[in-house]
Amino acid sequence: MHEGKLWYLRQVDLFEGISEEEVERLARQAVLRKYTRGEVILSPEESSERIYIVKKGRVKLSKYSPDGKEQILALLQSGDVFGAFTLVGGRENVHVEAFEDTVLCALRREDFYAVVREHPEIVLRLLGLLAKRLQRAEQEIEELAFQGVPGRLASLLLRMAQEYGERGPDGIRIALRLTHQDLANMIGATRETVTSVLGKFKREGLVLFDRKNIVIRSPERLEAVVHARIPS
């Protein structure tokens, strides 16, 4: 188990440049935790003394409205970090759940501090990761304000294709298990509306989909939908 943690921490960009001895120490201090799809990792009311790095699988960060409606804020994958607000005595203030079977590497705040004191550049890398997440959130807010559901869905599919896409004979397959409800929760729409828009995209030859995956047939035409910005 120790060797597995050691190998993984060596691969994480966040710790690039720290000594082998320090990586060894982190590996001894880190705890591996396994979660199955749908299992809650952290809730907004919980405080945590740990920072988490995704080792395997994917994690979703969500907010819930008072009536229980979910808004998926981000999907994190191997190498991504969450729980960083614990470094300044705060909380993540989001619902964190395993989006698929997941293994996390958890480090105590004090252990992370010890490395940061010797390598302050780690904080800059961490800030870079958080800045990218903020940039994505700002983009999604802009889409909610200025685009209808077709534009928001087209934009999401293009991002998913860029991050998780695998080229094949039919187009770009999004190698991620996404339900229509997941897509709806990402773009602030209802499942019924997403199903209707996806059906329209399919009839027009923009996408193919089955119960497992979505294939982007025409990225260029999806881009045109994004830039049309026609409310719906």
Mark whether 17 and 130 lie in a shared domain. Answer: yes
State the amino acid at position 25 in one-letter form: R
Mark whether 96 and 170 lie in a shared domain. Answer: no
Q: What is the pLDDT of residue 232?
A: 44
Mark whether 163 and 200 lie in a shared domain. Answer: yes
Give pLDDT tens digits for 8-19: 777 777 778 788
The CATH number linked to 222 is 1.10.10.10
The whole-number average pLDDT for the span 172-188 is: 92
Mark whether 14 and 108 lie in a shared domain. Answer: yes
Q: What is the pLDDT of residue 119?
A: 84
Q: How many distinct structural domains can be found in the chain?
A: 2
Mark whether 15 and 110 lie in a shared domain. Answer: yes
Mark whether 127 and 152 lie in a shared domain. Answer: no
Residue 117 reports pLDDT greater than 90:
no
pLDDT tier, 231 (very low <50, low <70, confident <90, very high otherwise): very low
Residue 146 reports pLDDT greater than 80:
no
Q: How far apart (Å, rounded) are the C-alpha atoms in residues 1 and 103?
A: 12
CB 225 within 8 A of CB 168: no
Backbone angles phi, psi at 33, to 5 degrees: -130, 135
Q: Which of 81, 110, 139 is the last residue of a domain?
A: 139
CB 30 within 8 A of CB 107: yes
Give percent above pLDDT 70 in the chain.
94
Q: When comparing pLDDT for 142 and 169, which is higher? A: 169
The whole-number average pLDDT for the span 190-205 is: 95
Q: When comparing pLDDT for 133 and 99, which is higher? A: 99
Mark whether 54 and 118 lie in a shared domain. Answer: yes
Mark whether 37 and 86 lie in a shared domain. Answer: yes
Backbone angles phi, psi at 152, to 5 degrees: -65, -40
pLDDT tier, 140 (very low <50, low <70, confident <90, very high otherwise): confident
Q: Which of 119, 139, 159 is the last residue of a domain?
A: 139
Q: How far apart (Å, rounded) are the C-alpha atoms in residues 93 and 52?
A: 15
Mark whether 204 and 110 lie in a shared domain. Answer: no
Mark whether 130 and 83 lie in a shared domain. Answer: yes
Residue 224 reports pLDDT greater than 70:
yes
Mark whether 158 and 115 lie in a shared domain. Answer: no
Give pLDDT tens digits for 209-220: 877 789 999 999
Residue 23 reports pLDDT greater than 70:
yes
The CATH number linked to 115 is 2.60.120.10
**DSSP state at residue 17:** T
Q: Which of 120, 139, 158 is the last residue of a domain?
A: 139
Mark whether 92 and 200 lie in a shared domain. Answer: no
Range of the domain at 17: 2-139
Q: When comparing pLDDT for 48 and 209, which is higher? A: 209
